[in-house]
Amino acid sequence: DPTSNQIEKVMRPAYFIPESKKIESLLQDFRTKGVHIAIVVDEYGGTSGLVTIEDLLEEIVGEIQDEYDSDEALLVEQKDGSLLVDASLGLDELEEYFDIEITREKFDTVGGYLVHLLNQVPTPGEEVTAGPLHMTVVESDDRKIHKVRIVRLSPEEELENDS
């Protein structure tokens, strides 16, 4: 088979690392071994994830834009003080932006959080308040949420919603 011969020319052995590996040590390994990607395994030998040299550098120096990164911002401040966010925005970024903590279950994104809170894929215009955040679905389809408007409530408004 002519294609298998071509694949063998570019194939390299997989580089496996434990979840507990330190960034400094992994960066050194990447340099000395000449690899740019590693498969992360958990304590049972199962695959936990994948880490690239770009991931490591971004941990050290911050986000690096490249040709594969979308130019569209996931979080855009609006003139009225609200935020327009892409539903794929990670909850970590949302928590960091508002300096809050969101109790997690089996979701990692703003869209997943809203589906959890509303117990369905909401339609545009549906709203929910959770803690200090009032969220309105701006754009969605039958399967997922695309855009959400978020307003941070004042402490007084938050107390009113809690009662």
pTM > 0.75: yes or no: no
Q: Is domain 75-162 given the CATH code 3.40.50.300 in the classification? A: no
Q: Give the pLDDT confidence of 84-122 residue by residue, as tens digits.
A: 999 999 999 999 999 999 988 888 899 999 999 999 989
- The fold for domain 2-61 equals CBS-domain (3.10.580)
φ, ψ dihedrals at 53, nearest 5° = -65, -35
Q: Give the pLDDT confidence of 20-40 residue by residue, as tens digits.
A: 999 999 999 999 999 999 999
Domain boundaries, the chain: 2-61, 75-162
β-pairing, 75-77 vs 83-86, is antiparallel
Element (H, E) at 62: none
